[in-house]
Amino acid sequence: MGEQPERGSQPPGEPAPGTSDRDLRPRFWEAQLEAARRGSLAWGFAAFFLGYGGYYLTVLILNAVHPGRRGGFDPATPPNTGPLLLLAFAPNILLGLVPAVFSWWRGRGLRSDFGIRPTRRDVRVGLVCGLCALLGSWTLSLVIIAVSGPPPETDLARLMQGERTIWLFLFALFAFLGAPLTEELLVRGALWGALEHYRIPRYAILVLTAMIFALIHQEVWRTPVLFVGGLAIGAARMITGRVAASMVAHATNNFLPALLLFTVAG
């Protein structure tokens, strides 16, 4: 590959001038250049499995400490709703913390390994993909409801029936900003980067990561909905090569549910 210009020296949507790599695809040149700058993320598999393993172990511990409900930890169950909500954040934080530690330890840092700092293009692509995720997820949800009836009551529904406190507001804020950061670092960061390192075809990576994204939520009714949303969110990562774009897409997809929680908490 010939010498590449600095980022931002060519208009978005056009291949970098002066590149001589015949393998660059017109539709994915941007992501390919990002992958070349990033280098190896072979450690991504270890980061993914340890991150999700830590998440699952923490959930089991919280369930053991707070027994007596089906399906996992209920952050809305009294007493001490506020502290329980804070505990509900803990497992999800591990999803992003482990890939971050691996990046600092084995990689080149979050900005280099994952492209975590958003550019204007990340925001534009992320917003479009996030709106597609939201529209696709809601459309599929309506279809499933029409076919099989209303979904079972979720932790989110129980949470919204609880007391309106600052803790509920913080929970909504985490759903909007925190979860997209941690989940994207795990799935579209560590796992995607590892699969990319082993030259798995990009569309296969898109489908596989969307499937895993859906399954790790452990919500049977929503699995197809999460899969469709994961495809659209992953498309932002595939187009730009940066996790920042998929984070914007994920946050856009979570905006309306978080806004609903904000309204309930207000």
Any idea which of 24-33, 93-102, 221-230 has the lowest mean pLDDT? 24-33
Higher pLDDT: 243 or 30? It is 243
Separation CA 73–CA 65 (nearest Å): 9
> How many domains, the chain?
1
- Dihedral sign, CA of 259, 260, 264, 265? negative
* Closest alpha carbon to 34 in 102, 112, 100, 109: 112
- Burial of 70 per CB tally in 10 Å (0-12, 13-18, 19+): exposed
Mean pLDDT of the 195-215 span? 96
Please, are residues 181 and 159 in contact by the beta-carbon 8 Å criterion? no
Q: What does pLDDT average to over the chain?
A: 82
Any idea which of 98-112, 171-185, 203-217 has the lowest mean pLDDT? 171-185
In tens, the pLDDT along 32-76 reads: 888 888 888 999 999 999 999 999 998 888 777 765 444 443 433
* Closest alpha carbon to 43 in 91, 107, 125: 107
Q: Which residues contact 259 (CB under 8 A, 6 or more apart)?
A: 172
Mean pLDDT of the 112-119 span? 94
Separation CA 237–CA 190 (nearest Å): 12
The neighbour count for residue 168, using CB atoms within 10 Å, is 23
Does a structural domain hold residue 20? Answer: no
Residue 203 has pLDDT above 50, yes or no: yes
Three-state SS for 50?
helix
Structure tokens at 204: 């296969």
- HSE, CB side, 13 Å, CA atoms: give it for residue 183: 28
Mean pLDDT of the 14-39 span? 67
Q: What is the pLDDT of residue 64?
A: 79
End-to-end CA distance of the chain: 55
Does a structural domain hold residue 147? Answer: yes
Separation CA 144–CA 125 (nearest Å): 28
Instruction: Indicate the pLDDT class of residue 250, thresholds 50, 70 and 90.
Output: very high
Q: Which domain holds residue 129?
A: 43-265
Residue 77 has pLDDT above 60, yes or no: no
Q: What is the pLDDT of residue 21?
A: 47
- Dihedral sign, CA of 54, 56, 61, 65? positive
Does a structural domain hold residue 57? Answer: yes
Does a structural domain hold residue 25? Answer: no
Does a structural domain hold residue 33? Answer: no
From residue 244, how far is each of 49, 115, 183, 233 by CA, in Å? 21, 6, 12, 11
Does a structural domain hold residue 150? Answer: yes
Does a structural domain hold residue 216? Answer: yes
Residue 253 has pLDDT above 50, yes or no: yes
Does a structural domain hold residue 26? Answer: no
Distance of CA 209 to the CA centre of its chain: 10
